[in-house]
Amino acid sequence: TQLLEQSPQFLSIQEGENLTVYCNSSSVFSSLQWYRQEPGEGPVLLVTVVTGGEVKKLKRLTFQFGDARKDSSLHITAAQPGDTGLYLCAGARNDYKLSFGAGTTVTVRA
Amino acid sequence: KAGVTQTPRYLIKTRGQQVTLSCSPISGHRSVSWYQQTPGQGLQFLFEYFSETQRNKGNFPGRFSGRQFSNSRSEMNVSTLELGDSALYLCASSLSSGGNNEQFFGPGTRLTVL
């Protein structure tokens, strides 16, 4: 059983459309990180959110941390083919371990 | 600054054999974590080393072991390989210990057990 549940598992959209990926848990995290992984590469950190209710923007990407620090979302506006990849959320708890969700595979069609 | 490097990139072994994977962290990083990534289970934490000491361990059998050297380079070893050990093994380095620190991942070693 995953500590962090990501949804949807797969997402295929047309270029220019918006998308949202969700990351949910019953556990509280001290911080939550979002990564993107491309085939043949390791995950690359996109953002870290720390404070409940925090919203961070990275160009067309908007990340939100839930008020209770148990969930997070990633929203992409006007998706482009370059946004294609596996999106992973990862939560850090006080035991110092980083727990990853199973990931959401995003495909943006030109 | 050079990124995290892992060797080898690809490896094919047979059941019962043992394997050693290597990870060189970013210069100045003292923490190295290892993860196993499979399509069914996603990224699973194996262990973390900091200053040559294992700081954290995931829920993997004793066949999985690791160590860290004084220059922060790390190796992980898997003995008596099983088919289910086929996976992408990723290492990540960070300045300090703990999941709250930004982790930088290497490209991984793709292990296939036949």
Radius of gyration for chain A, computed over Cα atoms and rounded to the nearest angstrom: 13
Positions in chain B whose pLDDT score sits under 50: none
- Could A92 and B106 be called an inter-chain contact, meaning their C-beta atoms sit closer than 8 Å? no
Contact of B56 with chain A, judged by CB distance below 8 Å, is answered with yes
Q: How confident is the model at residue A81, as a pLDDT?
A: 96
Q: Does B109 touch chain A (CB under 8 A)?
A: no
In B, which residues are within 8 Å of A9 by CB distance? none
For chains A and B, CB pairs below 8 A equal 64
Rounded average pLDDT per 10-residue block, chain A, 110 residues? 88 97 94 93 93 95 96 97 96 80 96
Which residue of chain A has the CA closest to B102? A45
B32 at A interface, C-beta within 8 A: no
The Cα–Cα gap between A49 and A51 comes to: 6
pLDDT for the residue numbered B56: 86
| Tokens describing residue B30 | 């003292």
Assess contact for A91 and A6: CB atoms under 8 A: no
Q: What is the predicted pLDDT for the residue at B42?
A: 87
Closest chain A CA to residue B40:
A102
The answer to whether the CB of B92 falls within 8 A of the CB of B104 is yes
One-letter amino acid at A2 equals Q
